[in-house]
Amino acid sequence: MAKVHKIAELPGDGIGPEVTVEAMKVVRAAAETFGFDYETTPFDFGGDRFLKTGEVLPDSAIGEFRDFDAIYLGAIGHPDVAPGILEKGILLKIRFDLDQYINLRPIKLYPGVPCPLVDKGPADIDFVVVRENTEGIYSGAGGFQYKGTPHEVSTNIHVTTRHGSERAIRYAFELARKRNKMKQLHLVAKTNVLTFVHDTWWRAFNEVGEADYPDIERQYAHVDAACMWFVKNPEWFDVIVTDNQLGDIITDLGAVIQGGLGVAASGNLNPEGVSMFEPIHGSAPRYTGQGKINPIAAIVAAGMRKPPRASLNRRWRTYSAAARSKTSARDGWATPPPKSATCSSTK
């Protein structure tokens, strides 16, 4: 009997549900075209459920997710819930507990999408950020002392392990080899200030590269300089590897040069386990229910899941590209305004 691919569907908050509907239509069309079976199981974790029940995401849900082939997430964040509760309690909890140690974020300008950079086109903006996804300053380590007093002390600790940085670095070297574009990997960090944690990254990067990837050119950029080059010379990049927080920040800049947050997709990958796919934008409560949000990011995120059979790989890529351009033309997304809030579809 053919395998049925089990997808856990978490539409989440704000615009999450409306972009998820569009992404699932493309998954359905792909299943019909390629003849694979799948089923989705909805989960209502998010701000509304938290406000009603006080429950964020129980450990039992993590246990359930382990039985799925993939998780699809819309967006997390609710205006009536204090910052951090849902983000840490749902999104980061899933990433950490399922050990989704890679956050893969392609920065690709599609043809026909307006780019805010002067004289840059699709050939110039086509690189991938490999963001380490389980440690760094987002690990949750830290706390308060004397909170609320004049002597208040607060810390967030940048937790870096050789194991965590090295597995992200190895993934990125492999990707640079597989892309076979410039055969180049940039480490983006701040070795001149974070002389402990980024020294671990620096040594791992060079040792791994020298021992196992002599065919891949190693480049380094301080994060502040990298931001400048994203704007000035985005064509210099092929694959970038960086830590959790720097990856979070530079991929919003990356999203803007690829046409806006409505276009930028990501995969939280556990190459040996269950991965989660999501647009990188947030829940944009201001635009909820207006049918204005470009769902392309959500659609591309859904397409980042490995095709169910490896032999479908090439046809899948062709199909995803065709789906993107067809959908764009049909619904007027080919020329979205530079901001992410644009058009939507109900077909």
Element containing residue 107 per DSSP (H, E): strand 102-108
248 is catalytic: yes
- Residue 87 binds: one of ligand IPM, Mn ion, none (C-beta under 5 to 8 A by kind): ligand IPM
292 is catalytic: no
Alpha-carbon distances of 254 from 106, 121, 168, 229, 260, rounded to whole Å = 9, 14, 19, 11, 9
Which parts of 212-251 interact with Mn ion (CB under 5 A)? 248
Query: Least Å distance between CB 248 and ligand IPM?
Result: 4
Q: Which amino acid makes up residue 12?
A: G
- Residue 91 binds: one of ligand IPM, Mn ion, none (C-beta under 5 to 8 A by kind): ligand IPM
108 is catalytic: no
Coil, strand, or helix at residue 287? helix
Name the one residue in this structure whose structure tokens are 């938290």: 50
Catalytic residue among 13, 126, 243, 248: 248
The footprint of Mn ion on this chain (CB under 5 A) covers a number of residues equal to 1
Nearer to Mn ion, 133 or 344 (CB): 133
Q: What residue number has its CB nearest to ligand IPM?
A: 87
Query: Which residue in 14, 159, 44 sits closest to 96, CA to CA?
Result: 159
CB atoms within 10 A of CB 101: 24
- Residue 128 binds: one of ligand IPM, Mn ion, none (C-beta under 5 to 8 A by kind): none
Catalytic residue among 110, 190, 213, 287: 190
Q: Which amino acid makes up residue 300?
A: V
Instruction: Give me 32's structure tokens.
Output: 């019909």
Confirm if 38 and 27 have CB atoms less than 8 A apart: yes
Catalytic residue among 138, 171, 213, 319: 138
Nearer to Mn ion, 46 or 307 (CB): 46
Nearer to Mn ion, 25 or 95 (CB): 95
Query: Least Å distance between CB 211 and ligand IPM?
Result: 31
Nearer to Mn ion, 243 or 248 (CB): 248
224 is catalytic: yes
Residues of the shown chain interacting with ligand IPM in the complex, contacts defined by CB under 6 A: 87, 91-92, 248, 280
Kindly state the DSSP code that residue 57 receives in the 8-state scheme.
Answer: -
- Residue 302 binds: one of Mn ion, ligand IPM, none (C-beta under 5 to 8 A by kind): none
Query: Which residue in 35, 36, 41, 43 sits closest to 12, CA to CA?
Result: 43
326 Cβ contact list (under 8 Å, min separation 6): none
**Positions that interact with Mn ion (CB under 5 A):** 248
Active site residues: 138, 190, 224, 248, 252
